[in-house]
């Protein structure tokens, strides 16, 4: 029981309250600024919380309220290394996203930013939840604002594409709900402070200690995994993703690809492997093979994409696939690398989408073949894009290099063959990324590019933040590694390694 407001509560409450407030502000510009302000405050608080990670500040970082006493559910939010790194990612990501959206005109501005903040609240909830029911609650809640954002403001086919996305994730999460209920019914009881005893409990500790027979673990694994695989997405559950990314307004795509996909990875780390360790060990190869198929498949599709947004979408599938494979390789190297890469990938992909958005806003096209010679008109933009794109293909000195290197090293330890096949994706990524840079930024100046101007000062500022983050982590990753070490070790401990 907390006697004061703890950090995770603040992470959730601040965006929630400001988000609701945004709906009632009629003036769009004021709402926009409030949203930016709110996300910056959240950032400050998240950064502050990083100074209080020590065990002696436990009361500030964990809190649990009695919620549904009669079934043993608590509202339990807390922070561990994984939660912190993802909270930090979403705290850095949202100000960037909101600032980048500043240039764009969205109708009903107040609702747009209100929903954006609500989705941040939902995401923070997922990252901080330590009670299965709380987790499920936020898992679905994060989806609803994004559904409305993408359906209301997206492209021509938005309603269909977004509903496909919604239906996939909703069906997946309902299956997960059955899994949660099944595990719940096999947990031991819990005693509340006032002496009430329930038969079962939803707390994460009870879930880790639940007595589930190996047979049950096998099908439970798939109930959970399918839900998470849809969210990440892992091949063959990925078909919603390119459509949704393409049709959603780019601002929303940033939320989806930068932050929301991490929900699936976090869920595997926190709710799948430790709860069902035996089945997870048993299906390791299957999952890694699915991931690798996804990596190669997505990279190949990305190579022949003409639609810029779809290209980035497919490249994202490839990256997420690698992270998923790294989790299941389950050694210290791969898991740590994956935790760092979750953060780096978020930053890079948001940066990449910002550039894509700028190009789309300036020229009005998103087809690569219609673009060309942007570098002559907008040299500064080109510099930024090249840096971000190189980070995306994990060049040394950039942030993604650290994560990918560790993941590949870990995967190599697990199996040389898997690492070798997955390694092809590095080459493929270089091919499609460099191809994209070449045909958009160099070559003859395309007609739509004739009139464009270089980016303005605020865009420069936003992109500089991204670039600074890329190099900071690339050169000095130690703080991130420290932050995640405990989580990684705990995970490996539950697997008995």
Partner 1 sequence: MNAIIFSAIFGVILMFTGAFVADKTIPKNIAIAGILVLLIMNGMELYTGSPIWNINKMEMLRVDGFNLTFLEVLFAATLLFFLLSGRDVERVGEHVAEYFALIFFVLCGVSLSCTYNTLLLLFLGIEIMSIPLYVLTGSKKSNLKSNEAALKYFLMGAFSTGILLMGIAFLYGGNPNASFYINNLDLGVGKLTPMISVGLVFLVIALGFKVSAAPFHFWTPDVYDGAPTVFTSFMSTIVKAAGFFAFLRLFMYSFGAVQDQWQDLIIFITVMTLLVGNFTAVFQQSVKRMLAYSSIAQAGFMLLAVFALNAAAKEGLLLYAAAYCFATIGLFAILIKMKDYTIDGFRGLAKEQPVLAFSATVFLLSLTGIPLTAGFQAKFMMLVASAQFESKLWLVIVAVLFAAVSAYYYFRVIQAIYFRPRIAEDNSTICYEVSPAFKTLLIITVAIIIIVGVYPEFVVGWMYHL
Out of 17, 20, 68, 286, the residue judged to bind partner 1 by CB under 8 A: 68
Among 61, 151, 299, 363, binds partner 1 (CB under 8 A): 151
Task: Rule CB under 8 A: say whether 71 interacts with partner 1.
Answer: yes
Q: Residues touching partner 1: how many (CB under 8 A)?
A: 28
136 part of the interface to partner 1, by CB under 8 A: yes
Closer residue to partner 1 in complex, CB, 106/166: 166
Nearer to partner 1, 57 or 182 (CB): 182
Q: What phi, psi does 282 have (nearest 5°)? A: -65, -40
DSSP element (H, E) containing 354: helix 332-363
Q: How many helices (DSSP H) and strands (DSSP E) are in the chain?
A: 22, 4
Q: With binding defined as CB under 8 A, does residue 20 bind partner 1?
A: no
Alpha-carbon distance 183 to 257, whole Å?
30
Q: How far apart are CA 255 and CA 110, in angstroms?
A: 18
Candidates 58, 69, 188, 493; binder of partner 1 (CB under 8 A) is 69
Among 85-93, 136-144, 332-340, 341-349, the segment contacting partner 1 (CB under 8 A): 136-144
Q: In the bound complex, what is the minimum distance in angstroms from residue 6's beta carbon to partner 1?
A: 19
Q: Which part of the chain contacts partner 1 (CB under 8 A), choosing from 143-151, 233-241, 334-342, 416-424? A: 143-151
Binding region for partner 1 (CB under 8 A) out of 133-141, 243-251, 256-264, 435-443: 133-141
CA end-to-end span of the chain: 34
In angstroms, give the least distance from the CB of 147 to partner 1. 9
Q: What is the DSSP string of 128-193?
A: HB-BHHHHHHHHHHHHHHHHHHHHHHS-TTHHHHHHHHHHHHHHHHHHHHHHHHHHHHTS--EE-T
Residue 24 lies near partner 1 (rule: CB under 8 A): no
- Among positions 154-193, residues that touch partner 1 (CB under 8 A) are 158-159, 163, 166-167, 170-171, 174-175, 177-178, 181-182, 184-185
Measured between alpha carbons, how far is residue 227 from residues 155, 164, 221, 271, 488 in Å?
27, 15, 10, 12, 23
Q: In this chain, which stretch among 67-75, 361-369, 404-412, 471-479 interacts with partner 1, using CB under 8 A?
A: 67-75
Specify the 3-state DSSP secondary structure of 6: coil
Site string for partner 1, 265-304 (x = CB under 8 A): ----------------------------------------
3-state secondary structure of 66: strand
CB of 233 to partner 1, least distance (A): 17
Q: Does 137 bind partner 1 (CB under 8 A)?
A: yes
Contact 308, 431 (CB under 8 A): no
**3-state SS assignment for residue 64:** strand
Q: Which residue in 51, 70, 193, 451 binds partner 1 (CB under 8 A)? A: 70
CB atoms within 10 A of CB 157: 12
Q: Return the closest-CA partner of residue 29 out of 84, 102, 124, 95.
A: 102
Cβ distance to partner 1 smaller for residue 72 or 351: 72
Residue 211 CB contacts under 8 Å (≥ 6 apart), including other chains: 186, 188
Nearest in space to 170 (alpha carbons), one of 122, 227, 236, 116:
227
Q: Name the residues that contact partner 1, by CB under 8 A.
A: 67-71, 136-137, 140-141, 144, 148, 151-152, 158-159, 163, 166-167, 170-171, 174-175, 177-178, 181-182, 184-185
């Amino acid at each position: 029981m907390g006697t004061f407001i703890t950090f995770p509560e603040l992470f959730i409450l601040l965006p929630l309250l400001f988000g609701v407030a945004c709906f009632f502000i009629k003036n769009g510009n004021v709402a926009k600024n409030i949203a930016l302000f709110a996300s910056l405050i959240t950032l400050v608080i998240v950064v502050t919380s990083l100074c209080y990670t020590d065990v002696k500040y436990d009361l500030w970082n964990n809190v649990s309220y009695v919620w549904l006493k009669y079934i043993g559910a608590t509202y339990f939010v807390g922070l561990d290394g994984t939660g912190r790194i993802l909270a930090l990612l979403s705290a850095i990501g949202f100000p960037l996203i909101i600032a980048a959206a500043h240039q764009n005109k969205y109708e009903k501005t107040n609702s747009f930013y209100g929903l954006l903040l609500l989705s941040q609240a939902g995401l923070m909830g997922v990252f901080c939840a330590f009670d299965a029911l709380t987790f499920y609650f936020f898992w679905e809640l994060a989806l609803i604002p994004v559904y409305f954002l993408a359906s209301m403001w997206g492209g021509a086919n938005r309603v269909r594409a977004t509903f496909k996305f919604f239906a996939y994730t909703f069906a997946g999460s309902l299956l997960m709900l059955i899994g949660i209920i099944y595990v719940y019914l096999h947990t031991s009881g819990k005693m509340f402070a006032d002496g009430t005893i329930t038969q079962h409990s939803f707390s994460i500790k009870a879930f880790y200690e639940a007595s589930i027979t190996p047979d049950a673990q096998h099908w439970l694994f798939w109930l959970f995994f399918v839900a998470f695989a849809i969210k990440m997405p892992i091949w063959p559950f990925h078909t919603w993703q390119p459509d949704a990314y393409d049709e959603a307004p780019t601002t929303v795509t940033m939320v989806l690809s930068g932050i929301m996909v991490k929900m699936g990875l976090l869920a595997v780390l926190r709710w799948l492997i430790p709860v069902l360790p035996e089945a997870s060990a048993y299906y390791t190869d299957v999952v890694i093979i699915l991931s690798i198929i996804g990596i190669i498949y997505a990279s190949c599709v990305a190579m022949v994409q003409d639609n810029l947004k779809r290209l980035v979408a497919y490249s994202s599938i490839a990256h997420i696939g690698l992270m998923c494979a790294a989790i299941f390789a389950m050694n210290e190297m791969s898991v740590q690398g994956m935790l760092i890469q979750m953060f780096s990938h978020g930053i890079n992909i948001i940066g990449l989408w910002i550039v894509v958005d700028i190009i789309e806003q300036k020229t009005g096209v998103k087809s690569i073949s219609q673009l060309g010679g942007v570098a002559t008109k907008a040299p500064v933009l080109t510099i930024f894009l090249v840096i971000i794109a190189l980070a995306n293909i994990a060049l040394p000195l950039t942030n993604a290099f650290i994560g990918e290197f560790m993941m590949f090293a870990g995967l190599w330890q697990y199996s040389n063959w898997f690492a070798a096949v997955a390694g092809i994706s590095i080459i493929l990524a270089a091919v499609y990324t460099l191809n994209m840079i070449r045909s958009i930024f160099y070559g003859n100046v395309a007609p739509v590019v004739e009139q464009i101007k270089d980016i303005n000062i605020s865009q420069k500022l936003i992109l500089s933040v991204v670039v600074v983050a890329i190099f900071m982590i690339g050169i000095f990753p130690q703080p991130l590694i420290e932050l995640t070490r405990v989580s990684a070790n705990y995970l490996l401990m539950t697997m008995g390694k």
